[in-house]
Chains A and B, each alone.
Chain A
Amino acid sequence: MEERQEWMTDHVTGLTDAMVRGSTYSPDSRAADDPEAAALAALIGRLHGTLVPVEPSLEFAAGLHADLLGSERGLARVRQLPWRVRIVATVIGVVGFWLLRRRFRGHESVLDDAEVSLPDSI
């Protein structure tokens, strides 16, 4: 009884592995005369035809790839830069921001002056 169960376990596993991988499987003569083996073989065939792989949409797969690596890739590139370059880039950024702010403030003060100098007749 135990020997039969062991044989059946090996038989259904071998048959399934061959089916899903498209390889060959040669059962011994016992399988041909065994009604339970035949019934399980039919069930394995049905499962193989029903549980078929599906494809995730290209949009999803590409989008997730971009989401995973997009921000990390930018940070990784910055981390790979030599420290001198990083310092120079930081200084340029700070000075640039300060210049822009100064210029914007200057523009605002010009507008304020223009408002003040409007003639009373208008």
Chain B
Amino acid sequence: MQLFRRSPKAVDYSTLTDAELVEAARGDKNAFGVLYERYVKKIYNYIFYRTGNQHDAEDLTSRVFFRAMSHVETYTERGVPFQAWLYRIAHNLVANWHRDRGRRKIIPLDEFIVAGLRSEAPEKSAEDAEEREQLLAAVRRLPEERQQLLVLKFVDHLSNAEIGAIMGRTEGAIKSLYHRTLLALRDELQAAQMGPGRLPGAGGHDES
């Protein structure tokens, strides 16, 4: 009688694609661990720039992965790759976070500035801090989807096609939205330089 069976050999999941890992994660949570390692930094960055602080970024990142793990068995690709699915979970949680707390307008920028200045000399840091603060404040006044686009492009380095999958748009629509976002941001910065009394709220070039 074969009472003790040998456990199956450990599989090297690191070489598998996301779709293969998702399939494997339904039977072995170690496969989900590889997906976690693949995406935790990107999701954390996305949430950090959308919430503005480390504490909430950690809390919401945890929720994204717990939610993904509990639903991975029922997830089917259907044109939405796993990466886009994760970002959509993150986006929904961030949107709820903004709605519940009504914090969108009062996000402190200090942590952004500190993060951006870590690798620079102190004198250059002081010089650039104000300029960065102005730019970040202008970014935060943009409509939510434009902020999302800038973070996905500059912080997470995603392609237009990947951003399109996350935002549910075509690659061409993303390119066009990006161009309009830059024009709106330029107008926003010019308005801020003219004086605090005239803040357009990124209304210009808003066709989306």
Residues of A within 8 A of B (CB): 5, 8-10, 12-13, 16-17, 20-21, 39-40, 43-44, 46-57, 60-61, 64-65, 67-69, 72-73, 76-77, 80, 82, 84-85, 88
B97 at the A interface (CB under 8 A): no
Q: A20-B157, A47-B150, A51-B49 are in contact. Are A61 and B186 (CB under 8 A)?
A: no
Q: How many of chain B's residues have a CB under 8 angstroms from any CB in A?
A: 53
Whether B66 lies near A68 (C-beta < 8 A) is yes
Whether A82 lies near B132 (C-beta < 8 A) is no
Q: Jot down 11 A-B pairs with beta carbons below 8 A, ordered by A.
A: A16-B153, A21-B157, A39-B186, A46-B131, A47-B185, A54-B44, A65-B40, A67-B62, A68-B32, A82-B5, A84-B3
Whether B62 lies near A12 (C-beta < 8 A) is no
Residues of the A chain whose Cβ atoms lie less than 8 Å from the Cβ of B186:
39-40, 43
Whether B182 lies near A20 (C-beta < 8 A) is no
Chain A binder among B86-94, B172-180, B191-199: B172-180
Main secondary structure of the interface of B (DSSP, over half): helix
Whole-angstrom distance from the CB of B65 to the nearest CB of chain A? 6
Whether B3 lies near A44 (C-beta < 8 A) is no
B166 at the A interface (CB under 8 A): no
B30 at the A interface (CB under 8 A): yes
The contact of B154 among A47, A68, A72, A82, by CB within 8 Å, is: A47
Residues of the B chain whose Cβ atoms lie less than 8 Å from the Cβ of A56:
40-41, 44, 57-58, 61
Whether A80 lies near B8 (C-beta < 8 A) is yes
Q: A40-B186, A64-B61 are in contact. Are A50 and B178 (CB under 8 A)?
A: no
Residues of the B chain whose Cβ atoms lie less than 8 Å from the Cβ of A76:
28-30
CA distance A43 to B58 in the complex (A): 30
Whole-angstrom distance from the CB of B127 to the nearest CB of chain A? 12
Q: Which of A8, A17, A40, A53 has the most CB of B within 10 A?
A: A53
Whether A53 lies near B41 (C-beta < 8 A) is yes
List residues of B (23-61) whose CB comes within 8 Å of A's CBs.
28-30, 32-33, 36-37, 40-41, 44-45, 48-49, 54, 57-58, 61
